[in-house]
Chains A and B, each alone.
Chain A
Amino acid sequence: MQSGKHAAPSELLALQHSFVESIISHSPFELSQIQPVGSLSATEALAVYQGDYRARLTEALADTYLSVAEVLGSDFEPLCQDYLAIERSQSTDLQDFGNTFPDFLRQSACLQTWPFLAELAEVDLCSEWLFFQHATPLPDQSCLTELDENADIRLCFVPHCQIFVSEYPLFSLWRQRFVSEKALLQRPENLLLFKNQAGIQGHRLSAEQTSLFLALQAGSSLGQVFAEETSLSPEEVSAFFGWLYHAGLIAAFALSGQTEAGSTSFNKKA
């Protein structure tokens, strides 16, 4: 309450700062500043808010990292408490909290037991991001005929898609939220996560499809990928293009040199 004629009194800022630190860091707090209610002591009244803080932020993490929470079961909450000890909520919107959780997991000892956990957390985070995106309508199907006629054409993908290249079966873990012994074995899997008119979709891609997709996404023309980028047969490429179109992943077609329409992409940390 600082702007304008009546700036917030500095004592209010000091009071609020002191209270915040007592809740988050359990810093010493002058208990005589508060009158607890009911038969609570001042310490117990503070504990109500300290418990609420932990519960709300843990719940926010569980909402975002659904797969991680299910994989970890009862081990999830202690991990969240470790995260809360080093990470504060910066935004008034609780949904913003926890974007650095995958990085935290990368440094965590739990990675020894669950080596895929940080990557799975990235998938969960991307899935939440997709939830708040609008699906892009399919482009005119007649454009597909141009694919056969112009080697300079480029595919412009919808912004709401992300490929995860992993040494682990990420798709199975994200979809099934179940960890079998097989899942713990290294089994490379590439997951394409995207949003179309039917909602959030996950699709497993082969290594060749992944290379092709990434080359096209990077701006290679169809002619270039046929000449240099793929070991797939023309029939396999054609089938893959057909799937990309019908899955709603192609936003537009452009000739090389044309600028793609502005787009957003998954990079919540930015």
Chain B
Amino acid sequence: MKPAVIVENLGKRYSRYHRDRPRTIMEAALAGFRKMGVEESFWALREVTFNVMPGQMVGVVGHNGAGKSTLLQILSGIVGPDEGNVEIIGRMGALLDLGAGFHPDLTGRENAHISAVVGGLTRKEAERRFDSIVEFAEIGAFIDNPLRTYSAGMQMRLGFAVAIHTTPDVLFVDEYLSVGDLAFQNKCLDRILDLKNNGCAIVLISHNAEQVQELCDQAIWLEQGRLKAYGDPEVVAGRYAGKMEAISGQPKTRTYSQQVEIRQVEFGQSEGQLEINSGDPLSIDITYDAHQGFDRITIGLSISDIDGQIYFNTNSGTVGLDIPAPMGLGKVNLRIDRLDLPGGDYFVNVGLYAPDWSETYDYHWNEHPFSISWTPEEQSLLNPPKQWQIISLSTPAIETTSTQS
């Protein structure tokens, strides 16, 4: 089967014009047609490559300005790419700016007809599907009233109903789930999934990582116009969600009860940020302050990078350690004998929990940084102790070993 959407090494460059670029003929003439040129340009999208098969839904996540909307505009053929190729096979439809093309003075019926034809149906096809559109939009007898008498919700519903009835082969969706009430949203979702099951390829733009994980077959994470990650939605959207937490910066502590509070997390070193070598031990002292007394608490600890990828995760519960927390201060040490991670910047994250995980007392996320230095030029996620050895050579053997710890 051939993909319905093929995007290959796509790049889009936008021009930034002079700040005082003339906006009118009069100004341009006065300026002697100077300042009309491009001052600088930047890549809104670069080196983006992916495919969508018929019947597949691809979710695109990324924060504002990452290039999501630009991608959608290029896919729809509204703006042309500056680099690479885009190929779309079949009729396109879009769920964006729902009802924006409606005219307030025309009736719902007239607007729906125009909209359906603009959306790619012939008049005959539009006529045939009209009853179904009205029924779906739950407009009923209002269909012959001018659109200006409609509520915003009714306009959106009608817009959605028309768009979804054009039965496209390729559908672009931009944050559609803001249409109407929950019941209508579910109806829309069902209809979208219907299309998907009938072989429609869907590109969904979303801020909502959970939605992407739930609905999509593939996920794309765009960051500053580049493909940050592409693949399984669980992983991609999950990492994206993790990063969003890191960026929003505010540690989760605020929302926790703080019945037991993390007072200090130390690496047993007096000042400056800790830097260790790959394979060195890491010792972490955790000081907590119980404002209420508990028989036992569980301490969780993880090591993650700036993207929110967790490399290591452990808790005191797995080894059956009982940590009592009577009122007042307590101090616990965790010693990791070897930390065989590659070089980079990491965070130690610490959480205090009830032993049955029913409650989180306190949690520090991305608050305790340290770094690992590592010299070899190797792309690796793990750096265990290793040893190369030459077992035999055809020439008289010379004992050669090279060791690295």
Partners in one complex: no
B residues near A (Cβ < 8 Å) are: none
